[in-house]
């Protein structure tokens, strides 16, 4: 009820000015917490390691304000809507709008809860009554709905998430969205994609938490493909330092540095002066670079910067601009003048001894150019390393300052830059949680493991597409696909009951393990010309038996043969398929497989 009053008052609060709006929201936050803190505290104690905060409440209000438009009128009533306004104004919310509000609340407050029962409790007992939605409707929307992906021109829609791409992106459609043939857009995957896409549209840093192999990285890679963005994945560890992310000082390679300054010099000089009239000077500079005459080259750079500044001043006094490029300005030549003098200092330092230069990290480049960054295993990094990232998490315009380089101003953040993080739950040895002060700045989403047989068949069908033929046209109902999924689920069950790896621990089988087995099976069908049944059996043996001790391996092998290899004899398994590529010598037989030959002469060491 308090949440609905927040929404109803939003339009009125906007008219009162930003300061009054914030004051109003803070007051409503106190009332909301007074009514719901006990329930929220109970939910966030179910293993998520996260508590509801004022930051979450402000995030929810901002999402609703940006994505949902409520109709205001003094005459609206009835029709199944809700009167959530006050005084003389009625703000009318339809049932679909109230469900959208509920979905945002679930993503902000409950998506981080590892337990499916805990999330369901929040949806049915807290969020549904607060927004006037029936528990069944709320549960259907959150747990069983399949969002739709639509790409039209410069707009990408994933369920309720809608984002317009920058004008620099070429218009696209669904067929040009970098389709990954091995990514199955199941209901399970699309719901997580929708939640993450809302974070992208709202420019919120996103933290994905889940067990190894559940698809966290693949999910972000798929979104980056849909949005046409370059994704940089940084794997963090205990040895990761802030310099690995932001950059640091490294030994100076003068030729590499000189070439970088030379490129800037040529671009700027030829835009300001005539290339033909200054051909001799340009050849002189080029000769100094090629011969490594760094002192002479430095003198040329400084002389050119002085000439450029004088030229621009002369043109400005005549109220003209360089005809070849109107964007060349006094500011550009001033910047190059600083670069030229810095190069002279670095050259002198190299002559007197070992010199260093600051090399920017991949994260700094992404902040400037608008790339996406995924920090994998973020909870393995030290607290000191993570603390340097807090500036990026404060708001949509937050950035970092390279104090290591002596900068006093923060980097200019590109509006398309997005930051993601992924981590495993702090349940295994060596794993820990990230500090609460940092965790609260992320929008956290817990990614469950996919164990639904129907949706697993969709994944298996994607990986075996082209390797298995079916008469019905529906590959998901193929007997081989269904058997492969059943075997995977049986392997998971055996790993919990009796299987032991070489270290005496329970082996962990995930969807990643199944996908590797199916990918190997597909390659064996297409490249080695195995039958689908034999190829999948070989793939499962390769992926599932490897880490086990001898006793467990024998037990698993028996189950695999009973399920996948009952129609195969030992002779069938030992017999190689036909040579790939016909009678050419490009493949060598290493029974029962054909191995592609390399460029060196073949030697039989036996």
pLDDT single digits (tens) 325-380: 555 678 888 989 999 998 888 888 787 666 677 888 889 999 999 999 999 999 99
Pairwise CA distance, residues 448 & 314, whole Å: 66
* Integer Cα distance of 337 and 309 in angstroms: 9
Closest CA to 203 of 48, 101, 400, 59: 59
The domain tally of the chain equals 4
**Average pLDDT, integer, range 434-438:** 87
Q: Are 193 and 158 members of one domain? A: yes
The rounded mean pLDDT for the chain is: 83
The confidence score (pLDDT) of residue 428 equals 65
Q: What is the pTM of this model?
A: 0.78
CA angle in degrees (0–180, nearest 5) for 71-76-82: 75
Whether residue 262 lies inside any domain: the answer is no
Is residue 492 pLDDT above 80, yes or no?
yes
Pull the structure tokens for residue 74.
């003094």
Segment 210-214 shows an average pLDDT of 90
Share of the chain above pLDDT 70, in %: 83
Q: Specify if 319 maps to a domain.
A: yes
Mean per-residue pLDDT, 383-402: 88
Q: Are residues 306 and 418 in the same domain?
A: no
Residues 6+ apart with CB under 8 A from 192: 215, 219, 445, 447
- Token pair listed for 87: 């005084």
- Do both 329 and 227 map to the same domain? no
Contact between residue 265 and residue 197 where contact means Cβ atoms under 8 Å apart: no
Give the pLDDT confidence score for residue 2 in this predicted structure. 40
Asked if 117 and 25 sit in the same domain, the reply is: yes
Residue 77 DSSP one-character state = -
Q: Are 537 and 561 in contact (CB under 8 A)?
A: yes
437: preceding bond cis by omega (within 30 degrees):
no
> Which CATH number belongs to the domain containing residue 174 in this structure?
3.40.50.300
| Residue 429, token pair as written in the block | 């040895």
Residue 108 lies in a domain: yes
What are the tens digits of pLDDT across the range 401-435? 888 888 888 889 999 999 999 999 887 666 788 88
Q: Are residues 225 and 326 in the same domain?
A: no
Q: Which of 60, 181, 195 is nearest to 127 (CA)?
A: 60
How far apart CA 605 and CA 590 sit, in angstroms, is 13
Task: Report how far apart, in Å, the C-alpha atoms of 461 and of each of 111, 181, 447, 468 are.
Answer: 29, 10, 22, 9
Q: Of 149, 73, 137, which is closest to residue 102 (Cα–Cα)?
A: 137
Pairing label, strands 443-446, 206-209: parallel
Could you tell me if residue 26 is inside a domain? yes
Tell me how far the alpha carbon of residue 339 is from its chain's centroid.
35
Residue 125: predicted pLDDT? 93
Helix locations, 318-431, DSSP H: 330-352, 362-369, 383-387, 390-393
Domain range holding 522?
A: 453-575
Q: What is the separation, in whole angstroms, between the first and last Cα of the chain?
A: 81
Is the model's pLDDT at 594 over the cut of 90? Answer: no
Q: Do residues 433 and 367 both lie within one domain? A: yes
Tell whether 14 and 115 lie within a shared domain: yes
Tokens read off for 270 = 């030829």
Q: Could you tell me if 197 and 300 lie in one domain?
A: no
Does 69 lie in the same domain as 47? yes
266 assigned to some structural domain: no
Q: Is residue 61 part of a domain?
A: yes
* 509, 451 contact by CB (below 8 A): no
CB 223 within 8 A of CB 193: yes
**From the CB of residue 530, how many other CB atoms can be counted at a distance below 10 Å?**
24
272 bridge partner residues: none
In terms of pLDDT, which residue wins out, 201 or 174? Answer: 201
Residue 33 has pLDDT above 80, yes or no: no
Query: Does 136 share its domain with 197?
Result: no
- Token couple for 215: 């698809």
Taking the C-alpha atoms of residue 105 and residue 123, their distance in angstroms, rounded to an integer, is: 9
Residue identified by tokens 């998430």 is 161
- Asked if the structure places residue 121 within a domain, the reply is yes
Q: Are residues 483 and 395 in the same domain?
A: no
Domain limit, last residue, from 143, 175, 208:
143
Domain boundary among 326, 354, 382: 354
Residue 307 in domain: yes
Domain boundary among 324, 354, 384: 354
Are residues 476 and 493 located together in one domain of the fold? yes
With a cut of 50, say whether residue 13 has pLDDT above it.
no
């Amino acid at each position: 009820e308090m949440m609905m009053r927040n929404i109803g008052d939003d339009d009125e609060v906007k008219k009162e000015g930003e300061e009054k709006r914030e004051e109003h929201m803070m007051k409503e936050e106190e009332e909301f917490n007074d009514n719901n803190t006990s329930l929220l505290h109970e939910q966030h104690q179910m293993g998520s390691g996260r508590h509801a905060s004022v930051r979450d409440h402000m995030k929810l209000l901002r999402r609703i304000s940006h994505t949902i438009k409520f109709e205001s009128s003094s005459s609206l009533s009835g029709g199944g809507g809700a009167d959530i306004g006050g005084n003389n104004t009625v703000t009318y919310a339809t049932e679909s709008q109230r469900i959208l509000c509920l979905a945002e609340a679930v993503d902000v407050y409950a998506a981080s809860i590892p337990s499916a029962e805990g999330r369901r409790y929040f949806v049915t007992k807290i969020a549904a009554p607060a927004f006037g939605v029936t528990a069944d409707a709320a549960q259907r929307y959150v747990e069983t709905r399949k969002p739709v992906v639509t790409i039209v021109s410069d707009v990408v829609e994933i369920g309720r998430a809608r984002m317009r791409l920058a004008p620099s992106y070429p218009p696209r459609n669904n067929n040009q969205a970098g389709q990954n043939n091995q990514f199955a857009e199941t209901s399970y995957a699309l719901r997580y994609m929708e939640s993450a896409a809302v974070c992208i549209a709202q420019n919120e840093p996103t933290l994905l938490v889940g067990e190894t192999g559940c698809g966290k990285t693949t999910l972000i890679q798929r979104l980056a493909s849909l949005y046409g963005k370059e994704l940089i994945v940084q794997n963090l560890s205990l040895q990761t330092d802030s310099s690995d992310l932001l950059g640091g000082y490294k030994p100076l390679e003068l030729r590499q540095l000189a070439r970088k300054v030379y490129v800037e010099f040529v671009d700027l000089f030829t835009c300001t002066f005539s290339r033909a009239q200054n051909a001799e000077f340009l050849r002189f500079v080029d000769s100094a670079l090629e011969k490594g005459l760094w002192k002479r080259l430095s003198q040329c750079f400084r002389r050119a910067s002085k000439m450029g500044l004088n030229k621009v001043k002369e043109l400005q006094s005549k109220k003209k601009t360089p005809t070849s490029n109107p964007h060349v300005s006094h500011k550009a030549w001033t910047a190059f003048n600083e670069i030229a003098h810095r190069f002279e200092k670095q050259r002198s330092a190299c002559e007197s001894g070992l010199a260093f230069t600051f090399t920017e990290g991949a994260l700094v480049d992404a902040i400037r150019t608008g790339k996406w960054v995924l920090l994998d295993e973020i909870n393995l990094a030290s607290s000191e390393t993570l603390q340097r990232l807090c500036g990026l998490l404060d708001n949509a315009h937050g950035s970092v300052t390279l104090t290591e380089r002596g900068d006093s101003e923060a980097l200019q953040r590109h509006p398309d830059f997005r930051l993601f993080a992924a981590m495993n739950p702090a349940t295994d040895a060596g794993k820990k949680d990230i500090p609460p002060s940092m965790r609260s700045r992320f929008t956290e989403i817990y990614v469950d493991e996919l164990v639904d047989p129907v949706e697993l068949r969709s994944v298996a069908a994607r990986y075996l597409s082209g390797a298995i033929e079916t008469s019905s046209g529906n590959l998901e109902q193929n007997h081989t696909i269904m058997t492969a999924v059943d075997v995977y689920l049986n392997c998971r069950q055996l790993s919990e009951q009796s299987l032991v790896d070489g270290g005496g621990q329970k082996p962990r089988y995930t969807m990643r393990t199944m996908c590797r087995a199916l990918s190997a099976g597909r390659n064996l069908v297409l490249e080695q010309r195995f039958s689908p049944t034999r190829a999948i059996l070989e793939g499962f043996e390769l992926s599932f038996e490897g880490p086990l001790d001898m006793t467990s391996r024998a037990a698993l092998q028996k189950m695999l043969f009973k399920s996948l290899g009952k129609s195969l004899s030992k002779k069938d398994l030992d017999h190689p398929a036909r040579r790939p590529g016909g009678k050419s010598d490009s493949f060598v037989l290493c029974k029962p497989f054909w191995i592609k030959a390399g460029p060196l002469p073949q030697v039989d060491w036996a």
